[in-house]
């Protein structure tokens, strides 16, 4: 289970740890570089977030006498991008679940932050400092993101992300996939989810896109206002997928 920019491995328990246990899965919840307290250990967000995820699977395989078993990767928020990297690079992943799938993080930043990202550095920096003075919570959040990226300030973090983030090659993803998209998600996140779905469909990959609505009480980012519904949809799909494959061992990573 892989989170994004605002998660610790402890709160991933509520995304997958508890429902996985109820359904008879083992769940490995991880803090990747940039997450949890990893920046304090010298591990900030990095361009290749696939490498630390592969290390997690290597560890799991070793713990299971060399066989990681049937293995699904579930990513939420920024984890939708990190898990996309893994799904495209590691054939040990039997299934990919993402809320939402992101294959081009640089484009997400450019689209979602819009004109603000095109402001001169000094002007954006001044605006952010002003926002921080007006709102202590905003100031703390901006400082936290800079810490996670290993940069001096918020502007440098996002400039680096736009410059360095590499788009995932969707053609390399061949495992069955499930995409979750809430009504309240940003326009670019919705577009990338649909584009990823279309790419996999065109190549005959088993893929399903689930759309959640306000009427279901699940219109927030990553279905945060109705996780129970998301759990039901995700684990019903995994149960069906792994049952069809007649797997005798099931793991969620």
Same domain, 155 and 227: no
Same domain, 151 and 237: no
- Does 1 fall in a domain? no
Nearest CA to 72 out of 242, 231, 251, 194 is that of 251
Same domain, 21 and 87: yes
Q: Is the pLDDT of residue 9 over 80?
A: yes
Quote the pTM value. 0.87
Write out pLDDT tens, residues 17-26.
999 999 999 9
Write out pLDDT tens, residues 22-70.
999 999 999 999 999 999 999 999 999 999 999 999 999 898 877 777 8
At 207, which CATH number? 3.40.50.1820
The secondary element (H helix, E strand) that includes residue 96 is strand 95-99
Full residue range of the structural domain in which residue 72 is found: 12-104+170-252
Same domain, 99 and 144: no
- Does 213 fall in a domain? yes
Residues 6+ apart with CB under 8 A from 198: none
Beta-sheet strands, E only, within 183-230: 207-212
- Does 3 fall in a domain? no
Report phi then psi at 175, rounded to 5. -85, 155
Same domain, 186 and 217: yes
Question: How many angstroms separate the CA atoms of 214 and 149, rounded?
Answer: 33
- Does 25 fall in a domain? yes
Angle subtended at Cα 102 by Cα 100 and Cα 104, rounded to the nearest 5 degrees? 160
- Does 59 fall in a domain? yes
**In the prediction, which pLDDT does 34 show?**
95
Same domain, 89 and 134: no
Cis peptide before 54 (omega within 30 of 0): no
Residue of 133 and 27 predicted with greater confidence = 27
- Does 7 fall in a domain? no
The secondary element (H helix, E strand) that includes residue 177 is strand 177-182
- Does 177 fall in a domain? yes
Same domain, 92 and 43: yes
Where is the domain boundary, 162, 180, 198? 162
Q: Please answer whether residues 132 and 139 qualify as being in contact, where contact means their C-beta atoms are separated by less than 8 angstroms.
A: yes
Where is the domain boundary, 144, 162, 180? 162
The Cα diameter of the chain in Å comes to 59
Write out pLDDT tens, residues 160-202.
888 888 999 999 999 999 999 999 999 999 999 999 999 999 9
Question: How many angstroms separate the CA atoms of 200 and 189, rounded?
Answer: 17
Q: Structurally, how many domains does the chain consist of?
A: 2
| Integer angstrom CA distances of residue 2 from 5, 85, 220 | 10, 12, 18
Where is the domain boundary, 123, 138, 162? 162
The conformation of residue 16, written as its DSSP 8-state character, comes to I
Same domain, 47 and 31: yes
């Amino acid at each position: 289970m892989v989170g994004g920019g605002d998660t610790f491995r402890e709160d991933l328990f509520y995304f997958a740890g508890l429902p996985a246990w109820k359904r008879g899965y083992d769940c490995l919840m991880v803090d990747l570089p940039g997450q949890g307290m990893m920046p304090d250990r010298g591990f900030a967000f990095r361009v290749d977030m696939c490498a630390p995820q592969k290390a997690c699977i290597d560890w799991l395989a070793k713990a299971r006498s060399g066989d990681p078993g049937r293995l699904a990767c579930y990513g939420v928020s920024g984890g939708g991008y990190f898990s996309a990297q893994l799904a495209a690079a590691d054939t040990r992943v039997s299934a990919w679940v993402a809320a939402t799938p992101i294959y081009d993080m640089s484009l997400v930043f450019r689209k979602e932050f819009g004109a603000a990202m095109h402001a001169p550095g000094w002007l954006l920096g001044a605006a952010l400092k002003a926002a921080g003075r007006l709102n202590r919570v905003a100031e703390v959040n901006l400082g936290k993101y800079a810490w996670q990226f290993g940069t001096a300030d918020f502007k440098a973090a996002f400039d680096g992300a736009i410059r360095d983030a590499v788009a995932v090659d969707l053609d390399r993803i061949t495992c069955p996939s499930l995409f979750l998209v809430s009504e309240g998600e940003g326009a670019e996140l919705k577009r990338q989810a649909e584009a990823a779905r279309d790419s996999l469909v065109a190549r005959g990959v088993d893929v399903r896109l689930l759309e959640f609505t306000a009427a279901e009480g699940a219109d927030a980012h990553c279905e945060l206002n109705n996780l129970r519904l998301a759990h039901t949809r995700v684990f019903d799909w995994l149960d069906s997928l792994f049952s069809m494959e007649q797997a005798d061992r099931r793991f969620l990573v």
